[in-house]
Structure 1
Amino acid sequence: MKKTLLTAILLTFGFANAQTFVNTNPENKKVILEEFTGVNCVYCPQGHTIANNIKNANPNNVFLINIHQGSFSTPGAGQPDFRTTFGNGIAGQTGLTGYPAGTVNRSVFAGLGMATGATAMGRGNWTNASNQTLNQSSYVNVGVQGVIDAQSRQLTVTVEVYYTGNSPVSTNKLNIALLQNNTLGPQTGGNMGNNYNHMHRLVHMITGQWGTDITTTTNGSFYTQTFNYTIPAAYNNIPAEIGEMELVAFVTETQQKIISGNGGKPTFTGLANNDAKVKSIETIGTQCTNSIGPKVTIQNNGQTPLTSLSIDYAINSGAPQNYVWTGNLASLTSAIVQLPAVSYTLLPTNTVNVTIPNDDDVSNNNGSINFNKAVETQFTNITVKISTDQYGSETTWNIKNSAGTTVAQGGPYTDAGGAGVFPKPDVNLTLANDCYTFSIIDSYGDGMCCAYGNGSYQVLANGVLIPGMNGGNFGSGESKKYGVNTNLSVSAFDANAIKFYPNPTNGMITISLPEMAKVSITDLSGKLISTSMLEAGDSTLNLSDLSSGIYLINFIGDNFVKTDKIILK
């Protein structure tokens, strides 16, 4: 466990002029809104919006702390764990009965609590409680400043507390929360899939669970304390981005009622003068068009604000493009840059390269990402099969062409009693040659599988599943692309040149291809079992690990797609 170094200076009224940045004039209370949330809480994004609206309406007077806690914060498979060791203790004294819940200065507001005497309130009462608090005078003012050494990751926090009145208790407690902003991740109900932007997320309490004591709390008292804390590389395997850190300090009576507080972002030392970084390139799904605009995240690793940046990029080693970004990035903060679309030749596998030229540190100036060509079918007769769980009213879907025009849609459907699978009527349509996007949305955010049934969707061409165009466990929604290209059926080679034998087989098959292709095996529901990239000519594939039965074998090449059945004895 990391140790926190504390140094304290207590000054009497006669030495109040020693203070450096806290206000010594009487102030009204500032709001500390602690919001209890979780990535699997469907209504929590509404709470986040309400809290942000309160903060935006009262800049510098409202500070948010988002505490991931409770059953909705328990991560599912592949989800990040945003919980801390402090959350359950803080929530345990609130009397919350549901999520999202929030406390305003850990105080009880008549008629607004979730229960009699509870500090926890539903999201609809946070604004009222905040407005009441902002209109109340405070007997204590708080100031906080922080500095992070970018090389050692040591955070030095100085807090100043000045009493403009007498506290009703002889001992108050000073608390410092360390928060992290701009963490992309999943959020049920957020309608953003895995790209929900989590803000004001509690990662650590520098002063421990309930703070450190202030033992002189009379009018004119001045108290300052300095903390040194080394920020780890990650919390629960989630990277701790020092440029996204935020501090909130507050003073409480015992471990409950917050009188007032303050917050701010740390400054940095140990940085080069001018240094920009290609932090990441946004994942690109499968594509079936020959024009795309990548999104790149840039980070200012320099000491001075970054106001413009030249960015070079190319796809598949094509003609280099240049874009000049302008804005205002503080040290160690990031921005997502939408690069203009560029034309390219679509290959089975494609590569985007991004470079920052003319920079002090060339070690972090490059980035690349690969994306694949979407599956294509030569058949124009398309069928959409939908089977919902018992909450059919949550499910909607649509198909859009490359121009963004909706060519087919379905749902919401009717609900059914009891868990199960509830097939809906097939939707059949004829599509012209184009690139299409199939999107499916669950308004609650838990997909069609698996808590309340085993619903699923499938998109078929000529009665056969288009490889990969199926699913059910997709959270709030997902989108997949595929192409319709009737020219595939009259390509330069005969589709019959794609061969595999023997069929039925005991496990070993020989595959003959006219050109390199991706070969995948799925079961009849479309569940992917294996994928291989095979060269032109003859190759062998071992399926002996599979159970006996009927499977689909899918071939995707640069100029063809083909799906057939294979029987394993």
Structure 2
Amino acid sequence: MKKLLLLSLLLFTAPQLHAQQEHDARILAYQGLRFACGDSVTPVLRIENAGSQSMFTCVVETWKNGLSVNSFNWQLSPPAVTNEARQPAMPIVGVTEGDVLEFHIISVNGVPDEDSDGNVSSFTVGTAATTCGLQTVEVEVLTDAQPEETTWVIRDELGQVVAQGGPYSNASSIEAQWLSLPADACFGVELTDAGSNGINGGHLIVRCGGVDMIQVDGSTFTGEAYEGLHSGTVLGMSEARYRPSLQLFPVPAHDQVEVRWSVPLSPDQLHVLDAAGRTVLEMGLACSAQQTTLDLDQLVPGIYTVVLRTQQGAFAQRLLVN
């Protein structure tokens, strides 16, 4: 009889122990910069409404090195329904490398959070970002035998994705993408391997003006690698500066275009980029060459950029295809 009563009690209380709370939120991820942009950072959290009631407000405290620095009363309009996640930006916090930031969910809808699971998240502020004097950068990924596991994103100060790449389909191949970033801003570069075994023999490189500014060896991480990047105020490779060194004929072009460059450049690669910065044509070049001809029959009419990569940097010229 006692065993029967105990079994009945367990069956009755088990659903109560695992029942969803009414007012509950949890931190899913930190999405802001992990380094100081200037002398501060704007924390950004991915927060889910884990309660059965819609979430109208959520109070989150920010702590630095064990001390509370602010309390943020997040107002949601419209409210977040059950299991919906939002991404609020917290008040700016002054930080330096090595500071530890913690985030604590205190209450939901004015009620103390009813489940402590996922209420606290923390990270250590990393080293300063690598600075590029230009807004235009190239992201190159060398994939491994599992290219479908590799992805990357670039996030701004508010955690918004401004560029991304992958997953890829070609094993052991170079995948390149050119980007035009907002001027004089900070970004986080996140490289992820879904298999949590890194990129065996691969890498991620961010180039600025043809120079490798960020280099991530695929063997130095497992699940994720993170680097900081600060953009410059110059849009990209100046046409005025490079026009005497790189010439296209004819312009506008239709079926073919002849690319000519001066002797000192000695380029080793040529890329044609579309308006989104994607490489649509590429070819290797002999260092002794001074010109080449591109077939354009696969390109739709529009504006493109022809880029020569040399030891002196990257040189570019606009191309109009009609």
Q: What is the TM-score when the length of structure 1 is the normalising length?
A: 0.27
Q: What is the TM-score when the length of structure 2 is the normalising length?
A: 0.42
Larger C-alpha radius of gyration, 1 or 2?
1
